[in-house]
Amino acid sequence: MWRDLWAYVQAMWRHWAGLLSGPTATVILLVWQVFAKTNIPPWVFWLVALTGIPLAGFLAWREEHRKLAAEGDSELRELASRMVEKYVTLAESHKDEGPHSLAELNLAALGSDALIRKTIYRMFQRIGRDPWEGWAGFVDDVDLVAFFTWIRDHRLNLHMTKVDEVAKQVKAAAQTLARLRDVK
Whole-prediction pTM: 0.60
| Between 176 and 110, the higher pLDDT residue | 110
| Between 89 and 29, the higher pLDDT residue | 89
* Ranges 60-64, 98-102, 143-147: which has the least confidence: 60-64
Averaged pLDDT, 103-122: 91
**Can you give the length of the chain in residues?**
184
Averaged pLDDT, 44-50: 79
pLDDT reported for residue 184: 63
A 10 A CB-CB count for 97 gives: 20
Averaged pLDDT, 34-44: 85
> Of the candidates 117, 116, 126, 114, which has an alpha carbon nearest to the alpha carbon of residue 79?
116
pLDDT reported for residue 139: 92
| Between 49 and 151, the higher pLDDT residue | 151
